[in-house]
Structure 1
Amino acid sequence: MTRVAIIGAGPAGLVAARTLVDAGADVCVFDKGRRPGGRLNTREHGAYQFDHGAQFFTVRDERISPMLEDWVSLKVVALWKGRLVRLMGNTAEVARPTKRYVGTPSMISLASELRGELEILSLTRIVGVERNQKEWHLHDELGGDHGGFDRVVIAIPAPQAVPLLSEVPALQRAAEAVGMAPSFAGMFVFAEPPPMDFDGAFVGDGPFTWIARDASKPGRPDVEAWVVHASSEWTRRHWSGDRTDIARRFLEELTMRFGSLPDTLFERTHRWGYALADGFAPGVLWDAKLGIGAVGDWCRGGRVEGALVSGIQIADKVLASG
């Protein structure tokens, strides 16, 4: 039985792992986080919850459609019928109609379904990948050695994948060519509805790129919980700022754009260091001879669906290599 190590439990890593396990491979997933999901995640604070990473996903690829049908039937995914707009200056236009899906009752629900019964070593940061004769060994930051793998799939942001690809310079160079842009996520609960007459907004100017009312998504608590994503430029300028100060700046910018806001019941910010790919690899990275590769949405044009498709593609390559 082929032993496969997968580094990263975001959507790409989880789908790759599930595909390989279903084909009979022995798979172990390593993830630095507390729970799997990557950007398919939900921040919970008492009675409040926020989809502070991926906001929704679309499905156009025929390889994902059967999965979507299963997720909907299991009630871990539902169609989001919110009113979405595009904002530019003082102009608001209705966003192009398309089917947008969310995890229910939160985005982490989809990650939990993808996980299934997978073997996942959480809170395990892999810092080195080494070829020893015919096997791969993974080294974690605490000095632990995880060995005896026939294949390795690295499913993390490109800049984090680079040092783990030292044994395959060609793949390392390809990953080095992909930049990742940061983004601050602001999470707020207002005492009353704020003066934003939409459920989600793609913002084309100013410090923000996205604003959403989480309660408009199916299965969410009925509170005025809002998520705001900052542009990469604004995020870089304020990256070292105090989180309380960043939250205050978010509210000031929202007030300048929409007018006076109600009192807040909750404020929090989160730093996403690798939110969006700045350029893309020419497809999944794979060395069939050595049995190692790298994958993620940065190999498939970004977005959740890109990550899912890339996970399937690299699983196919692993299986094809025997």
Structure 2
Amino acid sequence: MNVAIVGAGASGAAVAYALRDADADVTVFEKSRGVCGRAATRRREDCQYDHGANYVKDEDERVNRLLTEELDSEGLVDVEAPVWTFDASGEITEGRADDERKWTYEDGITQVAKRLLARTDATVHRETRVEGIAREDGRWSLADSEDAALGSFDRLVLTPPAPQTADLLATMAWDDERRIDVHDAVAAVDYASVFTAVCHYPFELDRPWYALVNTDREHPVGWLSREELKPGHVPDGESLLVVQMGHDWSGERIDDDPDQVLRESVGHATELLADDAFADPDWTDHQGWRYALPDGGVTGDTHRDCEDAGLYFAGDWVVGESRVHAALANGLEVGERVASSE
């Protein structure tokens, strides 16, 4: 059985991992240079920082076991400091006490996909954008953005964000009414955009929390976290803030000049922290995540109705929970169904 997986994010890597012992030849196509999608890590000035997803919650026992027992756990760390909250006025209050673990790696959260794929024999083609899909003689034929053939496969798993998956379905050459039905179901999944600002400072921030989250979604800042509290991420004596702006605020500015949006983001973060020392970081970075967080999942089982034709869908947007653990859990489940279809 030949299996194609479009996307090497958390869910795509989990699909490949679930197929590691199956009688399957697995090929992964990833449009970017790196893997793990929005669970992304960058490196600069002796720092490394997770500028998309911040960590993996331990809410799913299967995923928790995967990270702590099945995969290489060297460098796996729990961010122990708490998450506090703030409201529209910027008032910060202590968050609820719980035992929730926040998993990441000393080398960054992108290690999740890297370690999953390292346990497989899958072939991973990076910087390869799949744009053409056709159903021919009971198999799935793929082509890249230059219309060059990428191969023919018995099973196809689509994992890009729902809007991008819907685009693939819209142009898919498959003479079956299920294509229209599943396209409409996938296209109906709404997404929130997030603009992320990264701010570095040559001094230590002395606060009792790891992160702040806006609970009423009415503040320009949605999330602010301290990357220096992740072991191995920031040199001693320095601070690195990851500021993720609110959904409405980000959505209104996602197509604006990113340098201007960055300046505004720094200003709002400085106001939230009530300290002008944060108004002038010594270096910054930024990322506009157009398809950051799915708002709900696919309605009904239309996406499952395509599986007898060898077409599968995986991702946090499938289950409607915008968390890395949800993407991993769904990818494992879909991979297991592909494996059992042999």
- TM (normalized to structure 2)? 0.88
- Secondary structure at 1:159 match in 2: helix
1:70 aligns with 2:69: yes
CA deviations on 1:69-108 (whole Å, 9 max, x unpaired) are: 2267531422110232111232412244212111223112
1:156 aligns with 2:171: no
Cα offset for 1:221?
A: 2.1
Cα offset for 1:62?
A: 3.3
Find the counterpart in structure 1 of residue 224 from structure 2. 211
Contact 1:84 1:201 in 2 (8 A): yes
Cα offset for 1:283?
A: 7.5
Inter-partner Cα distance in structure 2 for 1:99 and 1:72: 17
Contact 1:243 1:268 in 2 (8 A): no
- Secondary structure at 1:22 match in 2: coil
1:274 aligns with 2:321: no
The aligned amino acid for 1:162 is A
Contact 1:82 1:217 in 2 (8 A): no
Contact 1:297 1:310 in 2 (8 A): yes
Cα offset for 1:118?
A: 2.9
Inter-partner Cα distance in structure 1 for 2:57 and 2:272: 29
Cα offset for 1:188?
A: 0.6
The aligned amino acid for 1:34 is R
Contact 1:76 1:110 in 2 (8 A): no
- Secondary structure at 1:289 match in 2: helix
Contact 2:30 2:126 in 1 (8 A): yes
Unaligned regions of 5+ residues in structure 1, if any?
Answer: none
Find the counterpart in structure 2 of residue 200 from structure 1. 211
Structure 1 stretches of 4+ with a deviation exceeding 6 A read none
Cα offset for 1:22?
A: 2.2
- Secondary structure at 1:123 match in 2: coil
Contact 1:155 1:295 in 2 (8 A): yes
> Which of 326, 330, 335 matches 1:306?
326
Of the structure 1 ranges 56-65 and 307-316, higher mean CA displacement relative to structure 2 is found in 56-65
Unaligned regions of 5+ residues in structure 2, if any?
Answer: none
Inter-partner Cα distance in structure 2 for 1:19 and 1:283: 24
Find the counterpart in structure 2 of residue 126 from structure 1. 130
Give 1:42-57 correspondences, 5 Å limit: 42-57=41-56
- Secondary structure at 1:63 match in 2: helix
Inter-partner Cα distance in structure 1 for 2:326 and 2:180: 25
- TM (normalized to structure 1)? 0.93
Question: Aligned Cα RMSD in Å?
Answer: 1.9
Inter-partner Cα distance in structure 2 for 1:23 and 1:66: 21
Find the counterpart in structure 1 of residue 309 from structure 2. 290
